[in-house]
Structure 1
Amino acid sequence: MGKMEAKREAKRRAILAAARDEFLSVGFEAANMDRIAAAAEVTKQTVYRYFPSKIDLFEATIRYIGQSSGADFTHHLEGPDPKAALVQFAQGFVRWHLEEESLCVFRLLIAESARSPEIVRTFFSVAPDETNAALATFFAQRLGVTEPEAHVRLLTSILLAHRDDALLGRGRPDDHEIARHAEMAVRIVLADLGVRSTS
């Protein structure tokens, strides 16, 4: 990467970091492009040069949050043993969805979905849809499931069981509980598929 490219990338990341702080602190509707520009130490025109609209900036911010917060748990699905790969994925999935930043994103979506339905569509096109596609490919290619969508929904629904309590401040599971929950969820799904568990 040359000097100019590095400078542009640094500016882009500064805008995204400022946008993340703005969106998560005041929400999508109240987010102000002038404040984002000031926090990123760029002009508002520069923000719009990188991101033509607020919804474009929101989409890029969701991707940025995922990339900077350890949300890349789908890489576990490449592991050599299918069951172990699925368990590792499940643990990463649960941990990411219980992180404070992730919970803030979901609170924002819940609070503003009625007034700004486009943010929900944007979020699901960036995060869950990509995760579900990776899981569906795993079930089809690694486990031979011809119609994997129902099992993708079953697994992710079980894995999200603790999120409501976390969203409402009723506590979160510790690492041991997360590992046990992930194992149980995978065992349930594999049993439904007729895949014999060895553990």
Structure 2
Amino acid sequence: MARRGEELRRHILWTAKDVFLQTGFERASMDVVAARAETSKRSLYAHFESKDKLFVAVVDLVRELYLGRLGTPGDYARDTAEAAVLFCGRFLQLQLWEQSVRTVRLGIAEAERLPEAAAELYDAVFEATAERLAAFLAERCRLTPEQAAGTALALLGRTVHPRLFRALLGVDQPLSDRPEESAIAADVDLAPIREAARLLLPADA
């Protein structure tokens, strides 16, 4: 039975995500997306009136998927410090995945033309991650919101952002396999994150 309504829209988004990642924005075409999604161009344009609008919607999908996979620090461990360490490790692991690296590069490449999509991507990758960590630290470590935000940014800035930047520039090889939460310690060196957490978090954390 042919897909319709929201099911078709979702299917188009998943298909378009793969097309954009494989070919880049400029070489991707609505013809290719329609063909791969096995739908008509008329149906495609009924859901997304332009390639720009489709790209913005794909970024929304990526944001949803990423934040769902990341979760919150409290999902990772009962111990406060270990939960923060594993959360940062999971963030880095997800961003070092080959598809994530391509997505961020794509967002950077289209930032001038599509600032809305770039802002959505930034919010998902950096802002939302830092906010979740800060909220956790404020609750567990009895820090003020300002203190918690500063500690979260310092922890991420020291341990995650440099490695991510290296991957974006092609200095480090990305992870080829889908990153599973059970493999955080295998995919990411947690020792520097633990050391930074020891220095930055309150002693009783």
Whether these two folds match at TM > 0.5 is: yes
Give structure 2 stretches of 5+ with no counterpart. Answer: 175-184
SS at match of 2:33: helix
1:38-187 to structure 2, matched below 5 A, reads 38-51=35-48, 53-65=50-62, 72-78=69-75, 79-146=77-144, 147=146, 148-158=148-158, 159-172=160-173, 175=186, 178-187=189-198
Letter in 2 for 1:38: A
How far apart, CA to CA, are the structure 2 residues paired with 1:27 and 1:90? Answer: 29
Which stretch of the first structure deviates more once superposed, 55-64 or 155-164? 55-64
Question: CA 1:12 to 1:181, structure 2 compared with 1: closer, same or farther past 3 Å?
Answer: farther
1:12: which partner in 2?
Answer: 9
Identity score, percent: 31
Q: What TM-score do you get using the length of structure 1 for normalisation?
A: 0.76
Corresponding residue number in structure 2 for 1:21: 18
Query: Does the C-alpha gap of structure 1 residues 90 and 171 become closer, same or farther in structure 2, counting only changes over 3 Å?
Result: same
Q: Kindly state the Cα deviation for residue 70 of structure 1 after the two structures are TM-superposed.
A: 8.4
Cα deviations by residue, 1:42-101 (Å, 9 ceiling, x for unpaired): 223333444455454334423434555786223343443211211110110110111101
SS, match of residue 120 in structure 2 = helix
Higher relative contact order (CA 8 A, sep 6+): 2
CA distance in 1, matches of 2:56, 2:125: 10
Equivalent residue pairs, number: 191
Amino acid at match of 2:156: T
**Structure 1 unmatched runs, 5+:** none
Work out whether residues 134 and 152 of structure 2, in 8 Å CA contact, stay in contact via their aligned partners in 1.
Answer: yes
- Is contact 2:73–2:136 with CA below 8 Å preserved after alignment? no
Sort the Cα spacing of 1:46 and 1:142 in 2 relative to 1 into closer, same or farther, 3 A: farther
Measured in 2, the distance between the counterparts of 1:82 and 1:54 equals 44
Contact map agreement 1:16 1:61 (CA 8 A) in 2: yes
- Pairwise mapping of residues 30-41 of structure 1 onto structure 2 (< 5 A)? 30-41=27-38
TM-score, normalized by length of structure 2? 0.75
Using the alignment, how far apart are the partners of 1:103 and 1:144 within structure 2? 35
